Structure 1
Amino acid sequence: MTVSSIAARAGLLATLAVSLMLSLPQARAADDPDVGRLQQRLVALDADMAFAGMAPLERLQARQAVDALAGVRARQRPSALQVAQWRVETAEIAARTDAARREIDRLDRERADLLLEASRREAARARQEAERLRIQTQIQAEETARLRETAEAESMARQEAETVLQGVSSREAARLRAARERAAELKRQEEELLRSLESDAATQPY
């Protein structure tokens, strides 16, 4: 038999015991103030919704002990009264313990839910931050690529300009060399002509 089935049967028995206890003649409780006092504590425990369904086995044992007290002989009464009081106190303590345990479980679940929600929010913030960094990195990479392309275009333009300037300089240098060569040729021809004139003048008679 499982614990849950035992608890269910105990709860059913507790309910039946309450019904029987309430149906007992009032005279018995009036004749025995201890029984009446303990019964009132059990009735108050059953009426408290904060302890509904809690400690059913302990409540049943307490009712049985109170019922036994009502029918016990005089010489057995002190020990039966002590047992009944212990059983009622045990039922009250067990009910409060179960209520506290249920509250602890509720708080633990609430704490777990809060931690889970906080974890989800933190994960969402982390994803948002990662997406922001990804976009920022992509923008920086695109900007770097654009600057590299611009620098490469400017470098190619400078190289082309230098090539053009070198070509112009080469043509100008060639023209300069050609002009110098023509000037040297003209000077040589002029010198030859002067020498020829001088030679002719020297050979003519006066």
Structure 2
Amino acid sequence: MPTPLVYVVDDDEGMLDSVAWLLASVELECSCFQDGAAFLEAFDPERPSCVILDVRMPTMDGFELFDLIRKRRIIVPIIFVTANANVPMAVKAMQHGSFNFIEKPYVPQDLLDLISQALAKSETDLQQRKQKLDFLNRFQLLSNRELEVLREVVKGKQSKIIAHDLGISCKTVDAHRSSIREKFNSTSVAELVNEVLTHKREWCEEL
């Protein structure tokens, strides 16, 4: 897993310097931007990260940038920061799916705690995305007949029942089951079924 990165997007240069210093004090790497477009161009989806995002900025404010992030399906925790907070603004931020909302001036440790939580979530999300991609890549290796057998295996059917339903021999079903386990690097049918059910959404879409 790559080292985590904190993106800071704020038109206030003093704010950027302050957050950069704070993160450096706990040995966290950060990348600072004074506008949303520059952030979008630099964002690395393969690296665990979070975004410290100012609400009020010229050209593109924080909510407009957040909308673009969502439209592009960028998965990253967003922590909104503003000096002009109010209840409706905070509610809007949380309803739109932001990770959290903090008001300036903030307690440095409070911001660091939020960043730590956001980075932990990002690492989990990134790991899950990698696992799903790995699953789908292996899924694509299956033949049509293996897909048919796998459907029945997931339903808990025994080889002789699958053979009868598909009109093939029990020996052929067992050969397909063995091939499926090999392609999924599964040591047992139980392990294979558990992985398939874990990625049930991807499984259903493919079928």
TM-score clears 0.5: no
Tell me which structure has the larger Cα radius of gyration.
Answer: 1
What TM-score range do you get, normalising by the shorter chain?
A: under 0.3
Structure having the larger proportion of residues in strand = 2
Instruction: Output the TM-score relative to the length of structure 2.
Output: 0.21
More helix by share: 1
Question: What is the TM-score with the length of structure 1 in the denominator?
Answer: 0.21
